[in-house]
Structures are given as structure tokens and as C-alpha cells.
Amino acid sequence: MRTSNIVALGFALILFSLPGAVLAKGNAENGKKIVESRSLGNCAACHVVPGMEFPGDVGPDLAKSMEGYTERDRDTVRQWVWDARQFNPDTIMPPFGPNKLLTKEQVDDVVEYLFSIKKKN
Amino acid sequence: MSRFSRAFVLLACAGVLTAGAWKYSFAGEEAAPRIKEYTPNISSQEYEKRYNAVYGKSTEKMAEEGNPADFMLDDGKDLFGKAEGSAGKSCASCHGANGEKLKGVAATFPKYDPAINGINTVALQINRCRQEHMGAAPLKYETYDQLALELYVKSLSNGVPIKVSIDGPAKPFYEAGKAYYYKRHGQFNFSCAICHVKYAGHMMRANLLSSNRHHADHWPAYRLDWGAAGSFQKRFRGCNKNVRQEVLPFQCETYRDLELYLTYQANGLPIQVPGFKM
């Protein structure tokens, strides 16, 4: 048990430190569902999200934000969704990863979706 | 690192952590200044403007239809005059047939009370009167009769500017309320303050985040969302639940401290009960 945990942790550490390009690609279609779902991402509570009615204006327009990121920034975008406190310790944005609001795979899917709305705009 | 030294580091960390927790729980006043209060995001006037822009139509319609809690207020007046308990007394026996002696009193609540070494609220005081002076059982919080009485007692201060004190012995309880208001907790890691101070006036989905300056002046209130009247503390529980935080019991110490903190933010505003909210 112990050792396997440590091995898993090691793997996770290696994974996170790899450059963005090697990170697992998610599923944009699934990501869209997570972003729009009230019980999962609920991102429109705070952000303008393409196609969502009555969005909040607490955070920036996500399509606009994505204009500022290229494929090389995939890891940065992922870290924003995983735990925005890394960029702003007093952020209102929930720490989706650490607080188990979304799984690793779900975060990958959300990131894939974010890059897909970038292409469309 | 050897197994032993690793265990030692872990123990040391645990020691530092518990020492931290100890300090926090026993030195409320000392811990308090660490809170960096947010400057409110918008002025009262600007908030009103936005409120009218977002909800104007519904508010007009609600005003036309009238507040359903007005009936509760009438029932509260009747209960005020009704003798209950072994002493054969009613509230009116001590406070005047029409509550004359309680005019303006609710505007000074919540307040520090040495008898309970804590913060006394109107709801708590009603139950203390029942137990100590009437020989009657306390009313269960949020039941119809309990709310009706609280509503009537507060209505005796309608139009009177809120004037709560946080001086002297009240201060640490005020600071505890503030600490709770600013504490990040629950699965979303929100604090009350981040929504109702830092982002007040912003839209969170279709909701205009309200400014906490205006939270304390209109409870108990009728809420369409509840389809019933409820207390200020019931509203705390609603937000706790919505943002996946622990929901606390009515009139517990934390909610009474929180009520003091929020009522102080409303100092100077006239009491207007029953409120009527979406």
C-alpha cells in the first residue's frame, strides 16, 4: 500500500512537471458538458462562456482569455482550472482539483474545451 | 532520510500545526487583526441602481401583490398578548399591551449580555423571557409562533435606525463574527465576504450579489424562494448550504456573533420588517 502510493505520487509529480505538449489530451465535447453543468464546472456562474445564457461577470470572458494563450501554455491553463490560487492566492475561483470538484481527467477535458473555443473565435 | 528522521520531521510539523490551532482558538482577539478586510466593491447608491436595473420589474410586482408575512405580523401581536406558562403572564404583562416599552429596543440588538457571556439576539431573548419570567417552554426556532413573535417585537422598531454597539465586552464577539465571515471554507473554498463584499454588485449567474451593508435591516422576511417567512439565520444557512459549507444550528454562538457583525454593518439604516425578498 505505502510503496504503491509513493510510486503513484512520484508518477504524478513527473507527469505535472512534463512540458505541456506531452500532457494527456482531453475530450472537448465532454469538457463542454462539464463547463456547462451546474453541478460540475458551473463556469458560467462567473465567466462568459460561449452559448450560455445569463453568465456571471465575476471572472473574465473565457473565449477572450483564451486569445492570450497558445498551445505552449496548455499547462498554465490547466493549472488555472486545477487550482487558481497558484496565480492569485485570494481568488474567488474554486480550487477544482484539490477540493475534488473535478477529477484529473475532467480537468483535462475542460482544458481541451477551452482550447476548442479559442479556435472558433 | 532515514525512517526515524522522517518520522521526527512529521512529528515536528504536527506540533507546529497543533500549536497554531491552539493559538487561534484561544486568542481570538490576537488572531483577529490578521484579517484583511475588503473595501466594498460598490457604494450603496450604485448597488441600489443595479438592483433596480436587475430586479425592478419583479420588485414592483411584489409591492403590488403585498407581503404575505403581514398576516404573520398580526398573529405575532396576538401571541404577544397571550398568557402562557406557570406564571400566568404574557409578554404584554411586562412590556405593555401594545409593546410600548419595547419601541426601538430591537434596533440595539444583537447585544452583549453578561448573563450569557455572549451575544443576545431578539429570538434568544424571547425564549429567555419565556423560561425565566413566564415559566413557559422555549419556542422552537423557525416555527410559525416563534417567527411571528420575533417579527412583532422587531416591528416595534420599524423606522428606527439600527444602533448596535461593538464596544467593550462585545468586541471579541464581533471579531469572531468577522473572522467567520472572512474564513474560507467548504468545498468551493468561498467566504461570505468574497461574495458579499469583494464581488458585491457583480452578477453570479442570474443573481446580483448583494452588498452586506443591506443584509440586516429586514429580517424576518418572506422569501418567494422559500414560499414562507424565515429568519436572518435561516438565510445564513441557505448560503452555507448553497456553497457547500457546514450548516450550523439556529442561535448557536457562531451565528449570533455573525448576526452582530452583519447588523453592525447596517448601523444607521432603519429597521423594516417584514422584508419581502425573492
Instruction: Please state the rounded mean pLDDT for residues B72-88.
Output: 97
Count Cβ atoms below 10 Å from residue A99 Cβ, excluding itself: 14
Contact call for B188 and A45, based on CB within 8 A: no
User: A58 to chain B: nearest residue by CA?
Assistant: B202
Alpha-carbon gap, residue B241 to B237, rounded angstroms: 6
Instruction: Please state the rounded mean pLDDT for residues B117-132.
Output: 98
Set of cell numbers at residue B226: 422559500
Which residue of B35, B204, B207, B244 to mutate against A (max A Cβ within 10 Å)?
Answer: B204
3 state DSSP class of B156: coil
Mean confidence (pLDDT) of chain B:
90
CA distance B36 to chain A (A): 11
Residue A14: inside a domain: no
CB under 8 Å, gap of 24 or more: what pairs does B110-118 form? B110/B164, B110/B256, B110/B259, B110/B260, B110/B263, B111/B164, B111/B165, B111/B170, B111/B260, B112/B165, B112/B168, B112/B169, B112/B170, B112/B173, B114/B169, B118/B173, B118/B253, B118/B256
Contact A97, A14 (CB under 8 A): no
B39 touches chain A (CB under 8 A): no
Chain segment B167-191, per-residue pLDDT in tens = 999 999 999 999 999 999 999 999 9
Domain boundaries, position A58: 20-117
- Chain A contact residues (CB < 8 Å to B): 42, 44-46, 54-58, 92, 94-95, 99-101
The pLDDT, as a whole number, for residue B15 is 42
Res. B60 pLDDT band, cuts 50 70 90: confident
Measured between beta carbons, which residues in chain A are less than 8 angstroms from residue B198?
92
Chain segment B213-227, per-residue pLDDT in tens = 999 999 999 999 999
Q: CA–CA distance from B32 to each of A13, B37, B172, B173, B267 (Å)?
A: 37, 11, 9, 11, 21
**Residue A96 sits in a domain of what CATH number?**
1.10.760.10
3 state DSSP class of B161: strand
Q: Kindly tell me if the per-residue pLDDT of B28 is higher than 80.
A: no
Res. B23 pLDDT band, cuts 50 70 90: very low
Per-residue pLDDT of chain A (121 residues; tens, 9 = 90+): 455 566 555 555 545 554 444 456 899 999 999 999 999 999 999 999 999 999 999 999 999 999 999 999 999 999 999 999 999 999 999 999 999 999 999 999 999 999 999 865 4
The pLDDT, as a whole number, for residue B30 is 46
Question: Domains in chain A: how many in total?
Answer: 1
Q: What is the pTM of this model?
A: 0.86
Q: Kindly tell me if the per-residue pLDDT of B31 is higher than 80.
A: no
The pLDDT, as a whole number, for residue B21 is 39
- In DSSP terms, B111 is beta-bridged to B120
* Helix H or strand E encompassing B181: helix B171-182
Measured between beta carbons, which residues in chain A are less than 8 angstroms from residue B206?
54
User: B191 to chain A: nearest residue by CA?
Assistant: A92
Contact call for A94 and B188, based on CB within 8 A: yes
Res. B19 pLDDT band, cuts 50 70 90: very low
Q: Is B195 a catalytic residue?
A: no
Alpha-carbon gap, residue B82 to A115, rounded angstroms: 68
Residue A3: inside a domain: no
Domain assignments of chain B as residue spans, ordered by start = 43-278
B188 touches chain A (CB under 8 A): yes
Q: Kindly tell me if the per-residue pLDDT of B4 is higher than 70.
A: no
Question: Which CATH fold would you assign to the domain B43-278?
Answer: Cytochrome Bc1 Complex; Chain D, domain 2 (1.10.760)
The pLDDT, as a whole number, for residue A6 is 62
The pLDDT, as a whole number, for residue B13 is 42
CA distance B50 to chain A (A): 13
Set of cell numbers at residue A81: 482550472
3 state DSSP class of B247: coil
* Percentage of residues of chain A with pLDDT beyond 70: 78
ipTM score here?
Answer: 0.86
